[in-house]
Structure 1
Amino acid sequence: MNAPLKADAFGVGAQPIPVADPIIRFEQVGKSYPGRRGQNAVTALSGIDLTVPKGAIVGVIGRSGAGKSTLIRLVNGLERATAGRILIEGEDVTGLTEAGWRARRRQTGMIFQHFNLLSSRTVFDNVALPLEIAGAPKAEIESQVTRLLELVGLADKRERYPAELSGGQKQRVGIARALATEPKVLLCDEATSALDPETTQSILALLRKVNRELGITILLITHEIPVIKEICDRVAVIEDGRIVEEGDVFSVLTRPQHPTTARFVEAVTGVELPAYLADRIRTQARPGDETVLRITFTGENATAPVISRLSSTIGVDVNILAGRIDAIAGRPFGSLLVSVPTQEPELAAVLGALKTLELKAEVIGYVS
């Protein structure tokens, strides 16, 4: 089995990353389903090693069928592992009885893609449901639900029914309900996939608030890389039931080591060729052509006047074609398309200077 690739603190190489104080740990976890009518068993997960640090937001990203939903359902006992161990707060939950899982689930909240609210109950009663099941006194339920509705911004909607709410408001009810029993871990199953972009941003901001203010560890699964980029501290990329890359979000997204990761992150870290340029670019240089480079900026270099310094230092004209500066995990990240002379020694001087500045440069093609 190939181990998942892990970027170091600078996003280079494949070094192991120590993770202190884990709250969830997968150790060589596998999950298989019996085959139908004599067919071979179906393997959903294989050799999963993953650590979720206490207080972190960890995302698992993968395409449909990659195994991410199975992975998250193992954490609250909705699925049972067929190999390996899962430890939660140091307890091996792999062999828990159903009674044991009921106790464990009170420490684990879950929010869903399609909200899963009860249409016949008000907002207040939907949030109160886990507390009622746990046998909490009415005074405690009133106090806890009122506090949570204020937290999620729905204090004025307590007597409304789900049909009267927007999608974002329904998800806020789902978050409040998941927090009702004061869990230590919040599981998010594609929590923003059914929402529009603006509402998605507001829900992600709320999840970050829950994480920071309440200290709740969040494990989320998604197929949307902007979700990972926006709020996660760490990320694991899953493909065909195996984790192919994992590490801190900034390192993984700015220096992906696996082709699957690179395909995911291209949309949020790259700069598309302008239409006028895409039609003209060639893979082989002709006399007089300019070389088109994609330059990646990270850390302090993302906002520093690197191009002007480059031009003044080596005396080569650098033409800016397109660019963007963004933030990943709260740290600046930039990508720039430029054209520079193809002839030597100018091109060698440019590439050498970029290397000295510890900037990644990729040759995209050539234009006249």
Structure 2
Amino acid sequence: MNAPLKPDAFSVAAEIAQAAEPIIRFEKVGKVFAGRRGQKPVTALEGIDLDVPRGAIVGVIGRSGAGKSTLIRLVNGLERASSGRILIEDEDVTGLTEAGWRTRRRATGMIFQHFNLLSSRTVFDNVALPLEIGGTPKAEIAGRVEKLLDLVGLADKRERYPAELSGGQKQRVGIARALATDPKVLLCDEATSALDPETTQSILALLKQVNRELGVTILLITHEIPVIKEICDRVAVIEGGRIVEEGETFEVFTRPQHPTTARFVEAVTGVELPAHLEGQLRETPQAGGSTVLRITFSGANATAPVISRLSATVGIDINILAGRIDAIAGKPFGSLLVAIPAGEPGVGAVLGALKGLELKAEVIGHVA
């Protein structure tokens, strides 16, 4: 069990009420890479407007080549914007010199997909490295590293080398190292992509703990929609170098407005029709058959006995074909596929009753 940090161990972020205040702001940011060997320049980002609220966990999701890696590299100066402005704590960092970026990076930690640990240094020494580079006295380094190793659950691995650790343990070392300089922002570059599902869950739980106990703002990029669902307060969907949708994770997942977003979230919010019925689905009602509806639930309705109440209200037998109840950003969300007798007035009565209950419902087809 990871022990909580003592209040005086690290500076804790401001009150939760400040969460709406952006600690990072992108204003019309663009990034163009010069073409190689006479080829045309490549536009990686264009017109990026994005706020990262202080104390929040914000995810940026997109497929390979969408521009998400370039975006996160702009935040720590590994890349420079071609246009627009990037503000961190109200400081315009767009034109910072390398010396200015060295100062700024002390307030920004970063963890990587492939850990980036030094194989010749122990766990303790890997975590201590940023402090040594920054000139922190040895006496202070020891105390700080010990607290961090306790936080990430590796106090008993302090003298081990990276080759002796599992992938999850290596990433925990990476997180401890990123927190060594007491950053206000933690950047995560596909931090769980190299991990198995169970280890991913433990790392996400640790990141939530870091956010909650230390008040560290987290900006992460990923192509894994379950990561966004599990950990992020807000999400931005990037495609072709542009943000195509952005908002609170629950709202974006349950009411996607852009086709790219809808394709991403279908895997974690939808429910598949049983295989034996999928081939029978038709666009028009079948005589004596059934109409198949998809009903989505959120909030209190996600766990309420809506179907039994609905059946009693409209007086129609409702057959549940498949369903799932999950949590998105900590809020319950459910999806059901049901079959009801085809034809009016039954279908109309059910759809009307569902609308009255403020539930989303759609006809996805008909079966004989």
Q: TM-score range by the shorter chain?
A: over 0.9
Shift of 1:283: 2.4
Displacement of 1:37 after TM fit? Answer: 2.6
Q: Deviations over 1:207-237 (max 9, x none)?
A: 0000000000000000000000001000000
AA partner of residue 308 (structure 2): S
**Structure 2 residue aligned with 1:163:** 163
- The residue that corresponds to 1:133 in the other structure is 133
Provide Cα deviations, 1:151-203, integer angstroms capped at 9, x if missing partner: 00000000000000000000000000000000000000000000000000000
3-state SS in 2 of match to 1:79:
coil
Q: Name the SS for the 2:117 alignment partner.
A: coil
The yes-or-no answer on 1:262 pairing with 2:262 is yes
Show CA shifts across 1:71-130 (max 9, x none): 000000000000000000000000000000000000000000000000000000000000
Q: After alignment, is 146-155 or 343-352 more displaced?
A: 343-352
What CA distance in whole angstroms lies between the structure 1 residues aligned with 2:49 and 2:145?
A: 37
Give how far 1:40 is off: 1.9
Residue 249 of structure 1 deviates from its aligned partner by 0.4
Name whichever of 268-277 and 87-96 sits farther off. Answer: 268-277
The corresponding residue for 1:35 is 35
Shift of 1:49: 0.2
Per-residue CA shift, 1:239-284, capped at 9, x if unaligned? 0000000000000011111000000000100011111211222223
TM-score in terms of structure 1 length: 0.94
**Aligned residue number for residue 93 of structure 1:** 93
Equivalent in the alignment of 1:241: 241
1:197-208, aligned counterparts within 5 Å?
197-208=197-208
2:160 match: secondary structure: coil
In 1, are the aligned partners of 2:285 and 2:343 still within 8 Å (CA)?
no
Question: Structure 2 CA distance, aligned partners of 1:257 and 1:341?
Answer: 31
Partner Cα distance (1:66, 1:307) in 2: 41
Distance between the aligned counterparts of 2:222 and 2:346, measured in 1? 45
- 1:327: which partner in 2? 327
Give the superposition deviation at 1:346.
Answer: 0.9
Of the structure 1 ranges 311-320 and 123-132, higher mean CA displacement relative to structure 2 is found in 311-320
1:291 and 1:335 map into 2 onto residues whose CA distance is 17
RMSD (CA atoms): 0.8
User: Tell me, what secondary structure is at the counterpart of 2:212?
Assistant: helix
What displacement does 1:356 show? Answer: 1.0
Partner of 1:354: 354
The 1-side partners of 2:254 and 2:230 are apart by 14
* Identical pairs, percent: 82
In structure 2, give the amino acid aligned to 1:120: S
Structure 2 counterpart of 1:116: 116
2:107 is matched with: 107
Alignment TM-score, normalising by the size of structure 2? 0.94
What is the CA–CA distance in structure 2 between the aligned matches of 1:293 and 1:28, rounded to whole Å? 42
Partner of 1:289: 289
Report the 3-state secondary structure (helix = DSSP H, G, I; strand = E; otherwise coil) of the residue aligned with 1:70.
helix
Give the whole-Å Cα distance in 1 for the aligned partners of 2:254 and 2:21: 26
Aligned-partner residue type, residue 272 of structure 1: E
Look up the match of 2:65: 65
State how far apart, in whole Å, the 2-side matches of 1:31 and 1:358 are: 43
Aligned-pair CA distance for 1:357? 0.9
1:180 aligns with 2:180: yes
Where does residue 342 of structure 2 map in the other structure?
Answer: 342
Task: For 2:159, give the aligned amino acid.
Answer: E
Correspondence for 2:83: 83
Structure 2, gaps ≥5 residues long: 1-18
Task: In structure 1, give the amino acid aligned to 2:69.
Answer: S
Per-residue deviation, 1:343: 1.1
What is the rounded CA distance, in whole Å, between the counterparts of 1:312 and 1:363 in structure 2?
Answer: 21
Aligned to 1:313: 313
- 1:23 deviates by 0.1
Are the equivalent residues in 1 in contact too, given 2:302–2:332 (CA < 8 A)?
yes
**Kept after mapping to 1: 8 A contact 2:294/2:337:** yes
Distance 1:140 1:75 in 2: 28
Residue in 2 that maps onto 1:23: 23
Structure 1 residue 316 displacement after superposition: 1.4
Code of the aligned partner of 2:306: V
The answer to whether the Cα contact below 8 Å between 2:52 and 2:58 also exists between their aligned partners in 1 is yes
Structure 1: 5+ residue runs without aligned partners? 1-18
- Kept in 1, the 8 Å contact 2:286–2:342? The answer is no
Residues 291 and 340, structure 2, Cα contact 8 Å, conserved in 1: yes
Alignment partners' CA distance in 2, 1:263 and 1:103: 41
